Structure 1
């Protein structure tokens, strides 16, 4: 059945692909000779109907090929179908996934293969600009190299350059508009108060600049940087206490405990609707895991008293009790408290 599915995908026979998937053919079947999954094959062939059928059937959009480590989104940028790229991104593909051999992101490949429409779309989805290949080029240097060595299709590269310049200008303008974020980053409590009183967007997201604040809300930044008075102002203004930043998949409570801000931790756990047990995407650590990991006993006690779960298991297989034993020791009072309540 796997062979039949690969054959149908390579033939762009969407109807047969649908029939085979219904008959339990594996939607993430991999071709042994190329290391490509059937989704990668369809994406590279710019076959949008088959790509959508495979996605509906449960194909793994995140997995990489076995030779270059590229994803289906990388293959789609080679194939040149904006419909395929859009289908993958809408299904949750990571826009900035990096191929481990080259260091290429999807945007780099879209530029390399001269598809300005795909580049424009990826830029609109927040694709990073300050990224580097694994052979020493920044994205800008890589694009300049392409402009120099290509004669065929140079008009498409110049069109893509316009999209890059537009995105750079948009980022610059976004930073200039975000006065609240700037005030939070500076720890300027008075300015934060004035801006909130004037109706500033309390949950505005910083643009993706490949920096520390990418896609953060003001509350995430204030919680991380220890601006307790600003945290209170933001919460009073209705800031999303469970806002998730996409880099580490963390919430404000993670930011506070990770840096040992006990006062902010107490402020956050008291908020109605706070998720005490959100597990970060990177390592599966809950805020309690993070507080224990870095040895912040007061933060950990605050979380425990607030009702944080003690049975959550992180990606390295550790419960809060395991973490407490590792950091504080088996006989420490905090370890005993966790053991008693587990």
Structure 2
């Protein structure tokens, strides 16, 4: 009796496994599935479900689905980057997802990984660790550091948030410290301006030591120092004023600290 029961359990397990393989975890091959379920699976880093959905042909690695802030649909990879779902991110990259695909707001996965963070949970202290891993993963996979001409970059986003380790990483990988600038004019705020507006002193210092030009003006507007004052970040004004007075080729670190 015991041997028969064990055999029946074994057969039941085989039937369940066969059903999962044939239907990819309950997803019928070729069937379109609820995009909300895919979204929730990505956010939860449920790589098994995402793999099953792609294997069944329900979605593709470059699928766009609606997500908060992107009703028109955004690439799966951008959702994974925004939520730092590392297992899903690795799988999508390996499955051939376009690492430079953009959201409807023209943001790349790298930009989102450089901006967002995990909430502080019980202690209330935000964490960037998983998002930093996501950024590194994307760069290793060939993500463009710059993005579209005269647009925001991953470095801009990291500077805005004061993500110093990410700022350093992107600079080390060759990100343009000033972004896109023509004749001393930027069409959107430079990374230094982004840091200045938010009072991110550590990020501002790193950018200046990497050669950021404090004399650049945003089109029709201000320098980084003027933006710092405008946004009540006056503690950065002396530092940026010193940077504005640098002679061509003069080291920021030597003169201003």
Shorter chain as denominator, the TM-score bin is 0.5 to 0.7
Query: Runs of 5+ in structure 2 lacking a partner?
Result: 1-60, 63-74, 118-130, 253-257
What is the aligned partner in structure 1 of residue 132 from structure 2? 48
CA contact (8 A) 1:29 1:37 kept: yes
Q: In the alignment, which of 96, 109, 113 is matched to residue 178 of structure 2? A: 96
Q: Give the deviation of 1:102 after TM superposition.
A: 4.5
Q: Give the deviation of 1:24 after TM superposition.
A: 1.8
Is 1:39–2:110 an aligned residue pair?
yes
Cα deviation digits, residues 24-43 of structure 1 (max 9, x gap) = 22211212x22211111111
What is the aligned partner in structure 1 of residue 192 from structure 2? 107
Tell me the secondary structure at the aligned position of residue 28 of structure 1.
Answer: coil
1:184-333 to structure 2, matched below 5 A, reads 206-207=249-250
Higher alpha-carbon deviation: 119-128 or 75-84: 75-84
What is the aligned partner in structure 2 of residue 60 from structure 1? 144
What is the aligned partner in structure 2 of residue 71 from structure 1? 153
Query: Runs of 5+ in structure 1 lacking a partner?
Result: 148-153, 176-205, 210-342
Runs of 4+ in structure 1 off by over 4 angstroms are: 99-102, 165-169
TM norm structure 2: 0.56
What is the aligned partner in structure 2 of residue 81 from structure 1? 163
Determine the C-alpha separation between the residues in 1 that align with 2:77 and 2:225.
40
Determine the C-alpha separation between the residues in 1 that align with 2:81 and 2:243.
36
CA RMSD of aligned residues (A): 2.8
CA contact (8 A) 1:128 1:208 kept: no
Residues 102 and 19 (structure 1 numbering): CA distance in 2 closer, same or farther, change over 3 Å? same
Is 1:28–2:113 an aligned residue pair?
no
Residues 37 and 80 (structure 1 numbering): CA distance in 2 closer, same or farther, change over 3 Å? same
Residues 16 and 165 (structure 1 numbering): CA distance in 2 closer, same or farther, change over 3 Å? same
Cα deviation digits, residues 305-331 of structure 1 (max 9, x gap) = xxxxxxxxxxxxxxxxxxxxxxxxxxx
Q: For CA contacts below 8 A with separation 6 or more, give which structure has more relative contact order.
A: 2
Is 1:161–2:237 an aligned residue pair?
yes
What is the aligned partner in structure 1 of residue 17 from structure 2? none
Residues 103 and 144 (structure 1 numbering): CA distance in 2 closer, same or farther, change over 3 Å? same
What is the aligned partner in structure 1 of residue 205 from structure 2? 120
Residues 52 and 15 (structure 1 numbering): CA distance in 2 closer, same or farther, change over 3 Å? same
Determine the C-alpha separation between the residues in 2 that align with 1:141 and 1:20.
43
Of Structure 1 and Structure 2, the greater strand share is in 2
Residues 134 and 95 (structure 1 numbering): CA distance in 2 closer, same or farther, change over 3 Å? same
Cα deviation digits, residues 3-22 of structure 1 (max 9, x gap) = 33222112211232122212
Residues 167 and 134 (structure 1 numbering): CA distance in 2 closer, same or farther, change over 3 Å? closer
Q: How many residues align?
A: 164
Determine the C-alpha separation between the residues in 2 that align with 1:101 and 1:108.
10
Determine the C-alpha separation between the residues in 2 that align with 1:104 and 1:134.
9
Determine the C-alpha separation between the residues in 2 that align with 1:164 and 1:113.
14
Tell me the secondary structure at the aligned position of residue 98 of structure 2.
Answer: coil
Cα deviation digits, residues 28-61 of structure 1 (max 9, x gap) = 1212x22211111111215211111100000011
